[in-house]
Amino acid sequence: MFPSITKYRLLVFFSILFLRALSQQEHTFSQNKEFVKYLIDNKEYSDALYTIDKSVNQSLNPQQVDTLIYFKGLIFHKLKQFDSSFFYLSKIPYNSGWYYEASYYNVLNKTLLGDYDFALKLTEQIRYDTLLAHHPLKIFEEASLALLQRDYKHFDELLTKMDTVYFPIQIEQNELIKRRKELENRRKKYPAVAGTLSTLVPGLGKVYAGSVGQGIAAFIMVGMLGGITAETYYRSGPKNPEFIIMGSFFTVFYIGNIYGSVFSVKISNDKYNGEVNKILLFNMRIPVSRIFNY
């Protein structure tokens, strides 16, 4: 009896030792998962990627593999490597627990890469077999993309379907509707008008485009060259080389200013659109991160 008890004790002792040694070697999947979450929250992305890559070597079930792929895609999204993020998140299947997170982050990835058409297709493809609480997010993302493409007709269609109760999207949704009105009410500026104004008064076209400082600077520059040209004309006559040189300078600057005014309208429109798009993109991201806690 006695020797068998000793044997049993020895077995338990060595098992404990073995388990302790094992736990010191490798962390379990669930430990690693929580650790990766902590690293992402603390923006330690390189450490998180390292931990994920190390975890891949363990024998994992499909759900665990999806978890690692999702985290990897999420980290690349946070690192603004949207193409890599898209590559990983596209691997998450519909039956995965990470399907919705991956789908919405992929919409953001394609949007941030500037491929609005693809992003819209991805949004439309998000499947809701049973309506989940975050279902209104789909309409919100679609509407945001419609406004990014300045497709007002599509936006107005979606406006009627928007949810007015689901709290996590309300602030950004109201902002979206406000932007739609702002874009509609904005007075359009025409390059031809700017060109004509600058022909009449140098720099006035730039003022019309919204660049008051540039307009004043152009007026002073062209006016100064015009003054010098006029002075050399009256003092030395039209055949004098000084007049020809200064006159050439004046002509180049005068025509260049007209051309610049035409362009400044385009630049001004692009700048305005860029600023609006920046706000739209920012607002698209907030509800996704709020709903999915990342």
Residues engaged in binding other proteins (CB under 8 A): 24-25, 27, 35, 38-39, 44, 47, 50-51, 54, 224, 227-228, 230-232, 235, 246
Cα separation, 225 vs 219, whole angstroms: 10
State which residue, 52 or 107, has the beta carbon closest to other proteins.
52
Task: Please answer whether residues 132 and 100 qualify as being in contact, where contact means their C-beta atoms are separated by less than 8 angstroms.
Answer: yes
Question: What is the smallest separation between the CB atom of 227 and other proteins, expressed in angstroms?
Answer: 5
Cα separation, 158 vs 86, whole angstroms: 26
Question: What is the smallest separation between the CB atom of 98 and other proteins, expressed in angstroms?
Answer: 23
Question: What is the smallest separation between the CB atom of 228 and other proteins, expressed in angstroms?
Answer: 5
Question: What is the smallest separation between the CB atom of 224 and other proteins, expressed in angstroms?
Answer: 5
State which residue, 136 or 202, has the beta carbon closest to other proteins.
202
State which residue, 24 or 185, has the beta carbon closest to other proteins.
24
State which residue, 42 or 63, has the beta carbon closest to other proteins.
42
For residues 174-188, b (16+ Cβ closer than 10 Å) or e, as one string? ebbeebbeeeeeeee
State which residue, 31 or 125, has the beta carbon closest to other proteins.
31
Task: Please answer whether residues 169 and 137 qualify as being in contact, where contact means their C-beta atoms are separated by less than 8 angstroms.
Answer: yes
> In sequence order, what are the residues at sequence separation of 6 or more whose Cβ sits closer than 8 angstroms to the Cβ of residue 139?
158, 161, 162, 163
Q: Is 99 exposed, middle or buried (0-12, 13-18, 19+ CB in 10 A)?
A: middle
Tokens 């062209």 sit on residue: 222
Q: Among the residues of 126-211, which ranges form H helices?
A: 136-148, 152-159, 167-185, 191-200, 204-209
State which residue, 44 or 175, has the beta carbon closest to other proteins.
44
Question: What is the smallest separation between the CB atom of 231 and other proteins, expressed in angstroms?
Answer: 4
State which residue, 25 or 95, has the beta carbon closest to other proteins.
25
Q: Which amino acid is at 201?
A: V
Q: Helices 82-89 and 62-78: crossing angle, nearest 10°?
A: 170
State which residue, 144 or 232, has the beta carbon closest to other proteins.
232
Cα separation, 108 vs 189, whole angstroms: 31
Task: Please answer whether residues 129 and 146 qualify as being in contact, where contact means their C-beta atoms are separated by less than 8 angstroms.
Answer: no
Tokens 């919204």 sit on residue: 210
Question: What is the smallest separation between the CB atom of 55 and other proteins, expressed in angstroms?
Answer: 11
Q: Which two tokens stand for residue 238?
A: 């039209």
Question: What is the smallest separation between the CB atom of 21 and other proteins, expressed in angstroms?
Answer: 10
Report the run of H or E that residue 235 belongs to, with start and end: helix 212-236
